[in-house]
Structures are given as structure tokens and as C-alpha cells.
Structure 1
Amino acid sequence: MAPHGETSSDHGVIEAEKIPIKTIVIIIAMQTEALPLVTKFQLSEDIDSVFPKGVPWVRYHGIYKDLNINIIWPGKDGVLGVDSVGTVSASLVTYASIQALQPDLIINAGTSGGFKAKGACIGDVFLVSGVAFHDRRIPIPVFDQYGICGKETLSTPNLLKEVNLKVGKLSTGDSLDMSPQDEAAIIANDATVKDMEGAAVAYVADLLSVPAIFIKAITDIVDGDKPTAEEFLQNLVAVTAALDQSVTEVVDFVSGKCISEL
């Protein structure tokens, strides 16, 4: 029975935080971002997929140190052949991965835009302290807050002491560019980082009570003077290397620890 004021599910989460982390799911939207980590961790592509037949989602898996590592990439669109980026794919693969693999921890890693007004520079890697959506505009009382869906992320003070990462809030939307309405919402969200998946992953992880952390590397300066798409493509490969180095450091730190020790 859970202590007074605590539900049995809350008690279960607290107990789980004291158990060493064994299974990690890393959600990564783009193949370019995923493959260097697949090589680093010496993972193999899943031949007999744990996912429903017909979906393009790809799982790479293996043992690294004492961890069961799973990198989940949503795959390529079946018609257009591009990476399946955005909140819909991110939500689906996060839900399916939790159901199939029962991870102790989710890591959402990826490249993103950053705001120089908030101190972001190309190549910076951020550990996200909070997430929200900026393009789910529902101007009705209470629904407006549901649309924003602001959440604090898992507190990891010990990780921050050991790994050289900046800290900032993340705002998520389904467009690479930024409309004036999006800009106003991102400012209201107090975000330093802008991406297309993070808050969706956070929503599902929170729904199913799985701890999640978010590691985002800056490829483009959203409030800079260069076109976002051009700057993103120009910096993608180099910044992905920085992202993968940081993800490796985080995984190394997690090895042998429980959630409460992060």
C-alpha cells in the first residue's frame, strides 16, 4: 500500500527510481543523427521488428556496457523517401517503443534551432529543462494551456555536474520555419531551443510514466540573419558529431545508476 497522500502508481514510480537503469530507448528523428551512434554503440538493426507490420520505423539494438540500448528512428516516408520528422511520427514511435520494450529511461536526441537572444550558438548542446508546444493554438480557457502542454523535464543535477551541457527550455512545433504567431508563443514559452519532436515525446513519456531526458544540438540560429533551411543543412553533419558525443557521455554516465542518482 502506498503511503498516505501517495497513490499506488506514484509509489511504483518512486520504487522504480531506485532500481538500476537497464533498458534505454533513444528516439532520434533523422538517420543522419542516428547512424553514428549505431556505430558507436555497435548496435544491430532489428530483423524481426517489434513494431507493427508495414510501418517504416527502425530499431537498432544491442548491449553497451551494462545497458540494453535501443535506438529508434521513425524511418523514411514510404512515398517521398524523406525522414519521418515531426510530432506525429515522434508520438507514435515513442508510444510503440514503450509498449514493446518497457524502457527504464527515454532519451530524445536531435538537432534543433537555437535563439542567440537566449545565448545559443551553433554547435551548442543543451540538456532540456522544460518542454512546450508553440503551434497548438486553442484560444479557449483551459484548452489554451492544454495546447501549450508545458512540462518540466526530469531533474538530473548529478548528470549536469559531470557532462558539459548547456541548459534551456525547448519549444516544439511541426514547422521548420517560424511564423510571427509561433515566435510570440516561443517567447512566451521562454524557450532557448526549437525543434519538431521533443514535446511530443515528453507528452507520451509522461502519459506512460517513463522518465525522459532531452539532448538537443544547435544547427541553426532561428533569430539570426541566415535562412533556417540553408543553415540547418550546412551545419547538420558537424553538429550531429557534437550531439552524438554528448549522447555517448550521457549514456556512459547513466550506466550502473538508477533514476534517482541522475
Structure 2
Amino acid sequence: MAMEAEAAPLIERLGFSKVETDEPQLPFLAYETQFGELELSLVINGKDRRFGVESVGTQPATLATFWAIKRYNPELILNAGTCGAFISKGSDIADVYISESFRFHDRRISIPGYQAYGYGDYPAHTFTEMAEELGLKYATVSTGNSLDMCDTDMEIIDSLPVAVKEMEAAAIAWVAEQYGTPLVALKSVTDLVDGGKLAQEEFVENLGKASRALTEKTVSFLEALQKINAAETA
């Protein structure tokens, strides 16, 4: 997860315990817990030591994902976090979406042959029946390194049927693809891009509400995942 504030309700709810990392130079925070038969590891990007703020964005996400895969060798990565969304695409504050795919909207490379690489279009692991049971909406998770959006970013996202925007998931998806690790994301809406409010103000205002909604859906997702695993091993 990108931010401690996003993770705090989940850490408390599932009883995660903090563990030491083997990379003291890096700001990552690691937590572990047992949830039924599931061994859960939670990695947070941590705070930037120079600027004293949460390490949001693609660079910390890439490095944290690489470290997490090397440390834990997970069977599945669940990228839980918050996002911006669009009233025009049917979104509201604290709606929780499950990933249909991942892509970048601000990595535009017009050199011949590089456009598809720039956008990425990484697949998400599918949980169709579970998503329906939990009332999760599907969306393309689109990643960029800015909280606000330029006109070109908007045009790209407007071309997608349903999309949410955030700052890490496509970078995580790239690393997961290199290692062949299945990835799914749950994203809870903090701000509405086309709602007329400043994104930074709406984000701060709704972060707590969105994080609590994210925690509830994440716990429900893990409960459903545990049932699937039990059925497969029965």
C-alpha cells in the first residue's frame, strides 16, 4: 500500500504486527498476520526521509513491489488503495472498484513501436464471481505520477468505459508481470475528478471514509478468497 493512512484501518482490523525489513536504507514498512489459513504480508511504501511525506508514486511502488516479491514470494498480490474517479462514469465517494486491467495515462511515447509499451495495458487476475458477490465494480486502473490531470490525460481516460486513476498500480503491475505473480487491485474513491472540487482538498476530506470502505471490502475479499482456497483443496 502507498500510504500509512490507507493501511491503518486494515492493520488494526486484521491484527497485523510490524516486522523488521532487511533494507534499512529504504523507507518500506512491513507487517505480517495470519487470517484463517491465509498468511498475509503487508508492505507500505513508507515516508520519504528527505521530504517527510508518504512515498506515493510509481518509483516507490516499483521498488517496494520488487522487494516484497523477493522477500515473500507471494501467490497473489493484492494492491489495496485509494483513487480518483468520475461522476460521468457512475462513481461516488467511497465506492470500491476491483481491477479489470492496469495502464498508464501519463506515459506517452510517440516513437514508433513504443506507444503500447508506454501505456502498458497489464492484465489483472480475475475474480468474476467473487466481484459480483461482494458488489465490487470493475474498472481499468489508470496510473499517473500527478494528483491532478492535464487535458491529454483526461482524453485518454475518457476513452475507457470505466476507469479510476491513481499513482501506483500500473508500476506494481509491471513488476508483477516480470515475475509472473498474479495481481488484483481494490481501489476506494477519495475524490471525483469531474465533481468541481479541488482534488487535494477532496482527497484529504474523504481519505478516512474511503479507507474504512476499503478495509471492509478487503476483509470481505480475503474471506471469499479463503473459501475458494478451501474448496480447491477439499
TM range, smaller chain: over 0.9
* 1:234-253 C-alpha deviation (Å, 9 max, x unpaired): 11101110011111111111
Aligned length: 232
Q: 2:117 aligns with which of 108, 132, 146?
A: 146
Aligned to 2:103: 132
- Greater radius of gyration (CA): 1
3-state secondary structure, aligned to 1:255 = helix
Aligned to 1:171: 142
Matched, 1:197 2:155: no
Q: 1:57 aligns with which of 25, 28, 38?
A: 28
Q: 2:75 aligns with which of 104, 107, 111?
A: 104
Q: CA deviation at 1:187?
A: 2.1
User: How large is the Cα RMSD of the aligned pairs?
Assistant: 1.6
Q: 1:147 to 1:106 in 2, by over 3 A?
A: same
* 1:21-46 C-alpha deviation (Å, 9 max, x unpaired): xxxxxxx1010111111111111100
Matched, 1:221 2:205: no
TM-score by length of 2: 0.94
Q: 1:254 aligns with which of 207, 225, 230?
A: 225
Cα distance in 2, alignment partners of residues 196 and 182 from structure 1: 13
Percent of residue pairs bearing the same amino acid type: 36
Aligned to 2:205: 234
- What are the within-5 Å matches in structure 2 for residues 21-170 of structure 1? 28-47=1-20, 49=21, 51-170=22-141
Q: CA deviation at 1:257?
A: 3.0
TM-score by length of 1: 0.85
Cα distance in 2, alignment partners of residues 228 and 101 from structure 1: 35
**8 Å CA contact 2:138, 2:162 repeated in 1:** no
**8 Å CA contact 1:113, 1:220 repeated in 2:** yes
Cα distance in 1, alignment partners of residues 61 and 194 from structure 2: 25
Cα distance in 2, alignment partners of residues 257 and 38 from structure 1: 23
**8 Å CA contact 1:66, 1:256 repeated in 2:** no
Q: Structure 2: where are the runs of 5+ without partners?
A: none
